[in-house]
Amino acid sequence: MSGGKAARLVTRAGAAADKPAAGASFATRLIAWQRTHGRHDLPWQGTRDAYRIWLSEIMLQQTQVSTVIPYYARFLDRFPDVAALAAAPVDAVLERWAGLGYYARARNLHRCALAVVVEHGGRFPQAPERIAELPGIGRSTAAAIAAFAFGARAAILDGNVKRVLARCFGIERYPGEAQTEREMWALAEALLPAAGIEAYTQGLMDLGATLCTRGKPRCEACPMRDICIARRDGRQDELPVAKPRKALPARTTGVLLFSDGERILLERRPPAGIWGGLLSLPEVPQATPEAAAALARRHGCRVLHTQALPALQHTFTHFKLTIAPLLCTVEPAARHAAESGWQWLPLATALDAGLPAPIRKLLAGG
């Protein structure tokens, strides 16, 4: 890496032009810090198995490490390799993913496993560009897989890395803007070390997750404290520049909780969209006794009693959802077969199914 090249890229991204040494020492500082102070005991570390590395990278997208660890272990217990994952029905994959959120990740995980088995003979391609062609794998994730599994010299640029670079090099614009992101990619590539790519890549992840956090960064322990522009100027709270805020739109929906005392009625959601492929309570524009009666007729039973339950609030990335549940006691439906895509599940085992988090919370009495 050329220190001059890194300095020029930093300048174009909006940082001060008088820090040519910053780019030159960034990788050296990071590798040394990671080897001494970084994380070394995560369950997906210490392996070159691309399947396990890929699984961890997908699970860690927008999810905390502490949340991922038990899901990772349970997932591997059920799907120990890419062939087992590809051979499983997508419903089984969604069941193991239930509660982790962002369910498109699970559907893409299954699609990717199929592609690896069918198109690549069960082995992940080694080049990051080829890995990025697989379903659900973007440029940064592909680079991480290639670095950890195959030692490829490739740059990552997830949200944590953007924060580290924005603070260290004083990048003054919102990282989500297309031009700023292009310049940050160029900077990330210019900073790559000639050797030690695994420690460097892990170091970027560790630094953003443990020291250079969004709130209350631990600057006194940071290996970049002497070259970080945000620390020098006291701007840790200002960088990276925040996305312009927009008020989240609000939506309301109703759900019907049909129970005959022993079982509840669940509907398989469409593959695409919110909670795609999961089982959920029947959704209606308004949870009214009239809506309940209409659904009961479809399933050959009769509503005996209805009771409105407290509304639930759930926030997605792009909107806030208010869920209004209506508990519907129906006559025993043991002899009635559910329509295609619908299931009567025993109350005792319903929580083991692949359910959206707010629906699971509702059924658990939360």
Instruction: Report the chain's mean pLDDT, rounded to a whole number.
Output: 92
CATH architecture of 3-233: Orthogonal Bundle (1.10)
Q: Which of 234-243, 281-290, 339-348 has the lowest mean pLDDT?
A: 339-348
What topology is assigned to 250-363 in CATH? Nucleoside Triphosphate Pyrophosphohydrolase (3.90.79)
Tell me which residue of 330, 327, 332 sits closest to 363, measured CA to CA. Answer: 327
As a whole number, mean pLDDT of residues 168-175 equals 96
> 20 pLDDT band (50/70/90 cuts)?
very low
> How far apart (Å, rounded) are the C-alpha atoms in residues 94 and 62?
17
Query: Is 339 designated active site?
Result: no
Mean pLDDT computed over 304-322: 95
Is residue 241 a contact partner of residue 172, using CB atoms and an 8 Å limit? yes
pLDDT higher than threshold 90 for residue 317: no
State yes or no: pLDDT of 246 exceeds 90: no
Strand residue runs (E) in the chain:
250-259, 263-268, 279-280, 283-284, 303-308, 312-315, 320-330, 342-346
pLDDT recorded at residue 17: 36
Domain with CATH 3.90.79.10 in the chain: 250-363
Q: What is the pLDDT of residue 22?
A: 65
What phi and psi values does residue 151 have, to the nearest 5 degrees? 70, 20
Question: Which listed residue (57, 95, 183, 267) is catalytic?
Answer: 57
Q: How confident is the model at residue 63 (pLDDT cuts 50, 70, 90)?
A: very high
The lowest-confidence range among 11-15, 51-55, 57-61, 101-105 is 11-15
CB atoms < 10 A from the CB of 86, how many?
18
Q: Which amino acid is at 184?
A: M
pLDDT band at 281 (very low <50, low <70, confident <90, very high): very high
Domain with CATH 1.10.340.30 in the chain: 3-233
Predicted local confidence at residue 333, as pLDDT: 64
Q: Is the pLDDT of residue 2 over 60?
A: no
Q: Looking at residue 24, what is its pLDDT?
A: 66
- Whether 342 shows a pLDDT value over 90: the answer reads yes
- pLDDT tens digits, one per residue of 177-203: 999 999 999 999 999 999 999 999 999
